[in-house]
Amino acid sequence: MTDAGLLSPVSASPLVGALTGDRAVLAAILAVESGWAAVLEKAGLAPAGAAAVVASAAEAGRYDPADIARRAQGGGNPVIPLLADLRKHVAALDTGNAGAGKAVHTSLTSQDVLDTALMLLARNTVEALLADLKGTTTALAAMAEQRADTLCVGRSLTQHSLPFTFGLRAAQWFQGVAAAGGYLESLKFPVQFGGAAGTLAASIVLTDGSSTTPFSLADALASQLGLAPAPAPWHTNRLTITSLGHALAAVLDAFGKIAADVLFLSRPEVGELAEPRAAGRGVSSAMPQKQNPVLSVLVRSAALQAPGLAAQLHLAAANFNDERPDGAWHIEWPALRQLLALALGAAGHVRELAEGLQVFPDAMRRNLDLAGPLLLAEGVGAAVAPSLEDKDGLNGKQQLQAVVDQTLQAPPADQPATYRKLLREAVPASVLPDVRLEELLNPASYLGETAEISRRILAAYPDFANSPAHTDANGASRG
């Protein structure tokens, strides 16, 4: 019953498995139970020494995830069979009859434990995800600065549009990842508490006669586990879950944009980029010459799965009937865990891609030159049209459009020369001297505010542009 990711290679890594796999879920549930025992003992609500016994019994290696998964069908969630096993281990280890069993799950319910455990799982995964994400943004920021003057062609609706720079493209990649990362970084991972129906009734009984309240116990559990406190139970209000899902999907959206661009720009007929090489990567089972851009393929596969999983979380939230729903809660678990696994798996691949991307400026210039001076028609029109007198019922803008229309009737290979010739015939030298014409037909002269746009993007996210995640303990670059 172990899912090794055979059909999901983007997330098949030891790190992803360690942070999101079944054993990680099991360990998170046990951490909540162990943490709760510690809280109760500190509050004087469990016998002295009970927490140590529960902590020992809660070692994840004692439990079989596959067996617990099968038995979870009896109660509908994995907490119930795991608790049965935990209590047995606690009883066996409580040789001094300390009454440690009284500290296990007292006044909690399954949803308290599982929701809190998923917050632990998410927090740990997001920490690792952000480390790779910031390594990616640091590499992209450096690329944007280093390639600020590298000319390439912009494309819209699959066609050449205007002169562009690869530095701006890298800056836009950076902006997408940094903005999504900032949103992810702002999330809180709150503890869940509420008891059987979210009223804390059992906790009132537990704390009766003490100075402790159910709310102070919940805050203490949050502190014990390193989670955020919650002002009230959130068992039926799932914004915590949907916000996390949205943030993970946004990260994968940004990754998907990079992957889609690299996939196109690394096509042999385009040849502007290439993924970093590694032994055994990009191979084909049939064609020995293939060098497939497999990093981008895997990242794109993750990005394409994310919207459906995020939508599943919203669907669940909108159908959270009663004080514990009949199925909506249950469909959250696999969707959230899969989003975490996909985002973390993709983050490692994107980071490697960004840090090792091969850039080919000559190919970029070759592709830029395919359209020749016709690519500058917008700039020519803006500079020249106001100075042209009406002719044959056409104003200046219409005359220049006619030049473009006639040019496009020529074969593609002849269009650069045709455009120059027709433009020179349509616009007298008195209006457009040869020197000025050459300036207007120079792609480097029509880049707009590309440099300033890049600067503003990088300045907007300083924590992501210069991240310590990109350096080792000695301050040396990892890129």
Catalytic residues: 284, 324
Burial bucket for residue 127 (CB in 10 Å: 0-12, 13-18, 19+): exposed
Q: What does the DSSP assignment read for 360-378?
A: -HHHHHHHHTTSGGGGGHH
Whole-angstrom distance, CA of residue 174 vs CA of residue 181 = 10
Could you tell me where the beta strands, DSSP code E, fall in 237-388?
273-274, 358-359
The owner of tokens 């970084």 is 185
Q: Are 57 and 21 in contact (CB under 8 A)?
A: no
Using CA atoms, how far apart are residues 239 and 456, in angstroms rounded to an integer? 32
- The count of C-alpha atoms lying within 13 angstroms of the C-alpha of 155, restricted to the half-sphere facing its C-beta, is 13
CA atoms of 388 and 445, how far apart (whole Å):
22
Residues across the chain: 479
- Give the CA count within 13 Å in the CB-facing half-sphere of 184: 33
Q: How far apart are CA 209 and CA 204, in angstroms?
A: 10
Q: What whole-number distance in Å separates Cα of residue 404 and Cα of residue 397?
A: 11
Residue 189 makes CB contacts below 8 A (sequence gap 6+) with 119, 120, 122, 123, 126, 227, 228, 240
Single-letter amino acid code for the residue at 412: P
Helical packing angle, 110-146 and 239-265, nearest 10°: 30
Contacts for 367 with CB less than 8 Å, ≥ 6 apart: 152, 153, 270, 272
